[in-house]
Amino acid sequence: MLESCINQAAGLQGLAPRMAPKLVAVASHGQQQGELPLLWSLCTTWVDMGLPVMVLDGHTRESAQNPGLLNMLADPMGHFHDDPESVSWSVLPASLGFAQLAQQGFNSHTVGNLFQNFGVVLLYADAASLTGLVKGSGLAPLLVVAPLKASSLSAYQALKQLLLDARLHPTVANIALVPNAASAMSKPTQTLQDCAMTFLGLEIKPVTVSATANAEDSQAEISRLALQLLESAVFLERHPLPRTH
C-alpha cells in the first residue's frame, strides 16, 4: 500500500506558503487500482506539509443527500463561514459541477472564491472532463500507469487527449512493484513511452513510485512527486464578489 512519510513531507513545508490555493489534477483512465492509493498518499503528504486539501471527484454525482461542487456554485456564500482550521482534507462529489464548468473552465474567474480555506485543490476526473476544465492552463495533470496489461492503452488515450485537445503535458507516474526501483519501468510504462514518441513525437520521463507495503520504500518518491505537482500547479486567486444592496 502506498503511504506518505510525515518526516519527509515536513521538510517541504516552507515551500508552500498559504497565499492562494494551488490547483492540481489527476487524470483517471480506468485504472483506479493504481490511481487511488497514490492519490490518497499525495493528499496525506500535502496535509502533512500544512496544506489543507480539497479533492473534487468527477466520478461521483452530487445529490441532495451528498452535496458537492454543484451546490457550491449555486450558493457561493454558503461556505464562507467555514473555519479554515476545522478540516484538513475533504472529498466532494463534482460530476455535475464539472459539467457546468466545462465551457468556462475551472479557474480563478469561475471558482477563485470558493476554496480559499484550502492549500491544494485536486481535480480527479477523466481526460475528457479535464480537457474542458483546464485546457491551456499550463497544468501537468498526473497520469498514473499501473503495472497492468491494459494500463498502457488507456493511459496513451488519455495522454493523447490531454496533449492534443487541451495542450497539456501530463506528469506520468510509473507504479513499480519492487522497492527502490527508481530506474525500473513496468512494461505498460515502457509501451506508453514508445507510443508517445512514435505517434506524438513526445518524450516522457515517468516518475517511479514503489507500490510496497513498507512505507520507507515509497515515502521519498511520493514526497518528490507531491512537490513536483505543486511546482506545476496554478494558483486559484480570489476575485471580488459583486456588491449587493
- Return the CATH number at 17: 3.40.50.300
Q: Note whether 221 and 8 are within 8 A (CB).
A: no
Q: Is the pLDDT of residue 242 over 60?
A: no
**Residue 36 CB coordination number (10 Å):** 15
Residue 55 bridge partners (DSSP): 91, 122
Which range among 112-121, 175-184, 210-219 has the greatest average pLDDT?
112-121
Lowest-confidence pick of 160-164, 174-178, 193-197, 230-234? 174-178
Tell me, what's the pLDDT at 244?
Answer: 43
Task: Report if residue 242 sits inside a domain.
Answer: no
- What's the CA gap between 227 and 244, in Å, rounded? 40
Mean pLDDT of the chain: 85
**Residue 228 CB coordination number (10 Å):** 15
Tell me, what's the pLDDT at 204?
Answer: 93
Show the cell assigned to 227: 512537490
Show the cell assigned to 7: 518526516
Task: Report if residue 1 sits inside a domain.
Answer: no
pLDDT in tens, 51-85: 999 999 999 999 999 999 999 999 887 754 455 45
CA 168 to chain centre: 14
Task: Report if residue 245 sits inside a domain.
Answer: no
pLDDT in tens, 7-49: 444 444 444 445 789 999 999 997 666 788 899 999 999 999 9
Tell me, what's the pLDDT at 176?
Answer: 84
Task: Report if residue 192 sits inside a domain.
Answer: yes
Task: Report if residue 43 sits inside a domain.
Answer: yes
Task: Report if residue 241 sits inside a domain.
Answer: no
Name the residue among 182, 178, 165, 155 with its Cα closest to residue 130.
165
Q: Is the pLDDT of residue 188 over 80?
A: yes
Q: Is the pLDDT of residue 128 over 60?
A: yes
Q: How many helices (H) and strands (E) does the chain have?
A: 9, 8
The letter for the amino acid at 190 is: Q
Tell me, what's the pLDDT at 147?
Answer: 84
Tell me, what's the pLDDT at 219?
Answer: 84
Sign of torsion, CA 237 238 240 245? positive
pLDDT in tens, 189-241: 999 999 999 999 999 999 999 876 455 667 889 999 999 999 999 999 987 55
Tell me, what's the pLDDT at 65?
Answer: 94
Top-confidence residue, 142 or 211? 142
Sequence-distant (6+) residues with CB within 8 A of 91 are 55, 57
SS (H, E, C) 132-144: HHHCCCCCCCEEE
- What's the CA gap between 18 and 13, in Å, rounded? 10
- 191: domain range? 6-80+87-235
Tell me, what's the pLDDT at 77?
Answer: 75
Q: Is the pLDDT of residue 170 over 90?
A: yes
Q: Note whether 42 and 222 are within 8 A (CB).
A: yes
Lowest-confidence pick of 2-16, 80-94, 124-138? 2-16
Tell me, what's the pLDDT at 179?
Answer: 56
Residues in the chain: 245
- What's the CA gap between 15 and 145, in Å, rounded? 28
Q: What is the number of domains present in the chain?
A: 1
